[in-house]
A and B are shown apart, each in its own frame.
Chain A
Amino acid sequence: MTTFPLTGQATAVAARATELSKVYGQGETQVVALDRVSVEFQQAQLTAIMGPSGSGKSTLMHCVAGLDSFSSGSVRIGDTELGSLKDKQLTKLRRDKIGFIFQAFNLLPTLTAYENITLPMDIAGRKPDKQWVQQVIDMVGLSGRLSHRPSQLSGGQQQRVAVARALASKPDIIFGDEPTGNLDSRSGAEVLGFLRNSVRELGQTVVMVTHDPVAAAYADRVVFLADGRIVDELYEPSADSVLDRMKRFDAKGRTS
């Protein structure tokens, strides 16, 4: 197995998976989704996880984000080991330390844009930091639409609300599951721009799963997964370099 220690970067680790395995089923029908994966996600970095369908990229993200259980190994968010946590503690961890952006936006249709943004704080029963929330709203350019309901917003605007929701509670780490998958290229570029800005300007940590090389090009680092293992990584990627690597895996996959 291979680990990818990050050299030359003195930043702290926001999340780490060590020897992480996820196995579905038993015996003949056993499927290994993650095969002893070890990976670290640095603070204040935008990391993209890439890989072909079925490579385990989403599973890796779900396990690290505390959304899914794993079979063996360990996952840490900051100093917290996830493996030993009960559902209640995991929920609290997600609520307080993690932000999420989903492919299908996943906003509550009954709430206004503003209410959707402050929803994680409402759930925690905390008063939102108004100044910070305003800063986030200004950044994603939603000032004029705060009282709109999701059904009155375009897809791009809805995903911007989702980005603001993830940022508003100042989580330690934000996970994005194909955040641009349902968007046209212009709206997608906007959303990715916000995510990169949040990393650059606000020091936010972001990990996103994507299959789009253009989206991956916004990242500081790209981690490649195939067949449940990490097979490569790339720093300071460009769309072309990412596409290049992808092609190589595909070719390998076909010849092997």
Chain B
Amino acid sequence: MFRTALRNVLAHKARLLMTVLAVMLGVSFVSGTLVFTDSVSQAIKNNASTNYKDVDVVITPKTGRNDEEGKPGQAPKLTQDLLDKVQETTGVKSATGSISGYTAVADKKGKLVGDGWASTGTNYLPGKDGKDDRYPMTSGRAPTNANEIALDAKTADRAGYKVGDTVRLSVNGPVITPKIVGIFDADDNGSVSAGGTLVAFDNATAQKQFAAPGEYDQIQVSAAPGTSQAELRDALAASVPKTADLDTADRLIADQEKTIDAETSGIKTFMLVFAGIALFVGIFIIANTFTMLVAQRSKEIALMRAVGASRKQITRSVLAEAFFVGLVAAVIGLAAGIGIGVGMRSILGTNVGLPDGPTVIAPATVVSAFAVGIVVTMLSAWLPGRRAAKIPPVAAMNALHATPTTKGLVVRNTIGAVFSGLGIAAVLYGRTMSASDAKLPMGLGAALLVIGIFVLTPLLSRPVIGLAAPLLKAFGISGKLSRQNAVRNPRRTAATASALMIGLTLLTGITVIAGTLQKSIDKMATEALRSDYVVSMSNQSPLSPEVEKTLAKTDGVTATTPLRMSPAKVFTTDGGSRADQLIGVNGKTIEDLVKLDFAAGGWNLTGDNTVVDSDTAKAYGWKNGQSVDVTYEDGKRGKLNIVGVYEGNEMIKGLMVDTSVIAPHMKTQADFQVMLKTSDGVSEATKDKLVKALGENPAISVDDKADISKEIGGMFSMILNMLYGLLAMAVLVAVIGVINTLAMSVFERRQEIGMLRAIGLDRKGIKRMVRLEAIAISVFGGVLGIGLGLFFGWATGELLRSALTTYTLVVPWGRMGIFLALAGVVGVLAALWPARRAAKLNMLDAIKAE
């Protein structure tokens, strides 16, 4: 039996090629993902451990909030005192304090160098030998005052800077223009290897820029010879305050590896989901192919049954055939996948800046490639195999073996109708419930509906394709025949169309959801804005209060307000306390810059007055007019009077106070953003003026409402395009499915095609017939997919409705039209080869063929 199966595979190489291709695509995606994520994860790990080269123990401030000492906010930074104490501890060879933060570097044209999120500034802290081992100078010398910096070699090279050049930098708003006095080698620094920039300030300047004089955010200690990491840690334990953590480098590396694994496994799962979709689509195609192969070979199978093969043997032979197909597909898929993984890394490596490292092909990758390829193929061939076993031996003698399908379809249609009905009912029921309760019925309903529609696809093929009859009539007899051919074998048509349907359901669904979210978030971000411009750091790091002062003084600016966050503890009416934050604004101008609806009271931010959003007020049990207790950032207590309760949203919510309330309690004043209004309104000239006033700082963005909308839109279209790219794989597999079905149909109908040619249908007519059938099947799949996608988009939107106050459903008619056209194009492309084959059939052979 095994030999027969192998022979069958070899005898129908061309016919199975498409099946192999469908499985191979899925397998290559899976193994590509695994190779890519494994390699990247390994490279990041290697990179991370080099960061701890020569470091044995690390001291850092405790993460998370620190309310222990009665001061809300984060744990205090490490002090110079601590560093001195550490350096004097026995067993310490050396200790370095580091402090770092966002530092943007402009190139000679004023543009930002590198990616905004990996622009780092740090401190150059000379050791006993006058050098900082972390940043070995390749030319020039170390910076010694605020007017000097050193730059990493990669950045200097990229922007064309040399020692002696003046460079424009920005840490938190104002532009500074120090001189480059040194260039250092830091290729294995995390920021640099990720494609970013690294600037070294002298220690005092760095501390001033990123924290306060005498403060560090990390102390790295290396042990003297003979002292173990654990011994060193224990030796230092007494000196380290409660607000700081003390860890050995080994443990930090282990922790970091765990974090990296968690992060890359997120990406891995995300990409494997799409590989799974492609494989799922592939299942339909493989099942279809095997069904057709079995049908074509029914006489042969009947003969084997007649000469004594058991049913089990027949099924096994089909499965063995599937095994070989899966095996071949797995081998090719694995090879292709390794190629994809390496390729993806080199593309992303140059664009995003991933660290270098060897390509990792884990045993698990190889195992999963084979498992996926073989299991998926054999699973798909299982039903066709069982069907093959049911072919009676007598079919060998009969010219035609009647395939009973009507009864099967009745059962199938009933099941489909029940599932679909339950699904719709569950979704509609879910609509009547609150968002959090509705998740289960909605999700369940959606799943039931999809299964129902899948099961019902054969039934739906007739009426839906029938709708296209008037259109197809325009193509004469070819159109008519194509329509009838398309609905001739509902199961086959359904399986082919379903493959495409899945892809288009997801495409439409995510388009609807993304469009809806974009619109809702856009509304949220812009509706409450009365200001002309919003000024912020492009990476959302804090702005210096200087920026607001500069802007307020700029000609034509009529009103400004900062949004300044200060951590605080607030006391609720039931006597409890919560960690929250106070938003400092300009009480006099805020009304002109932000539009909020007040449920009670209104803007009156003078003295210790505050306004709060209704959700927070409700959560804390506060009412308008009452006064509430707070603990400020520095631990001092105070009272705030609520003078207004406004309707907030995800973007604007919380306790707002005049900046004068929080200013005395803040150690460093930093703004999240600055909003402003001008006398001339929004215009290019106004924006130019503002940008100039800020010293043409590349790290600061000045946005009007349109810019904000554009930014939000850009973010969404980036995500959408990425998802489209990943779903393209599923669509590609579906195309192979349509090609496969058509090729087999042409083969089965070659006698008819020969007759049609004989009685006068020309080659063009035959081609058109095949092509139109392909389009009919593809568009059928497209219509179902788009319909389902729209439904899911809507259902998901319903869940979001209560969470998003600005919820607006966006139905992307244009995109949906494009998707439908895409389905048509899929049909045309898929028909290219089968149509040519049909037109080239030798008439006489075809007519004689049985």
Contact = CB atoms under 8 A, between A and B. Distances in A.
A110 B760 contact: no
A67 B843 contact: yes
Interface residues of A, number: 27
Nearest to B764: A88
B759 A123 contact: yes
A87 B844 contact: no
Contact of A100 (B476, B481, B759, B763): B759
B244 to A, nearest CB: 81
B763 A87 contact: yes
A62 interface: yes
B484 A91 contact: no
Interface string B828-850: 00000000000000011001001
A19 interface: no
Contacts of B759: 94-95, 99-100, 119-120, 123, 165
A42 to B, nearest CB: 23
A90 to B, nearest CB: 9
Residue in B754, B758, B762, B850 with the greatest tally of chain A CB atoms within 10 Å: B758
Given A94-B759, A95-B759, A123 B477 contact: yes
A106 B762 contact: no
A94 B484 contact: no
Interface string A121-144: 011110000000000000000000
A67 B758 contact: yes
Contacts of A124: 760
B751 A110 contact: no
A41 B488 CA distance: 41
A96 B763 contact: no
Contacts of B485: 110
A216 B531 CA distance: 100
Residue in B477, B754, B759, B763 with the greatest tally of chain A CB atoms within 10 Å: B759
A96 B760 contact: yes
A32 interface: no
Given A104-B847, A120-B759, A123-B761, A110 B477 contact: no
A134 to B, nearest CB: 21
B765 interface: yes
A153 interface: no
Contacts of A92: 760, 762
Given A67-B843, A106-B847, A110-B485, A122 B476 contact: yes
Interface string B743-785: 0000000011011111111110100000000000000000000
A108 B477 contact: no
Nearest to A166: B759
A249 interface: no
B760 A94 contact: yes
A194 B829 CA distance: 46
Contact of B844 (A68, A95, A110, A111): A68
A123 B843 contact: no
Contacts of B847: 102, 104, 106
Nearest to A94: B760
Given A68-B844, A91-B757, A123-B477, A111 B484 contact: yes
Contacts of B689: none
A49 B393 CA distance: 39
Nearest to A68: B844
Given A91-B757, A110-B488, A123 B765 contact: yes
Nearest to A124: B760
Contacts of A91: 757, 760-763
A106 B751 contact: yes
B62 interface: no
Interface string B725-756: 00000000000000000000000000110111
A209 B192 CA distance: 86
B760 A120 contact: yes
A67 B115 CA distance: 70
Contacts of B757: 91
Nearest to A87: B763
B841 to A, nearest CB: 12
A68 B842 CA distance: 9
A119 B477 contact: yes
A111 B480 CA distance: 10
B746 to A, nearest CB: 15
16 contacts: A62-B844, A67-B843, A88-B762, A88-B763, A99-B759, A100-B758, A102-B847, A104-B751, A104-B847, A106-B752, A106-B755, A106-B847, A108-B481, A109-B752, A123-B761, A165-B759
Given A123-B756, A123-B765, A165-B759, 6 more contacts: A88-B762, A94-B759, A100-B758, A100-B759, A102-B758, A104-B850
Interface of B: 476-477, 480-481, 484-485, 488, 751-752, 754-763, 765, 843-844, 847, 850
Q: Which 5 A-B pairs have the closest CB atoms?
A: A95-B760, A110-B484, A106-B755, A91-B762, A122-B477
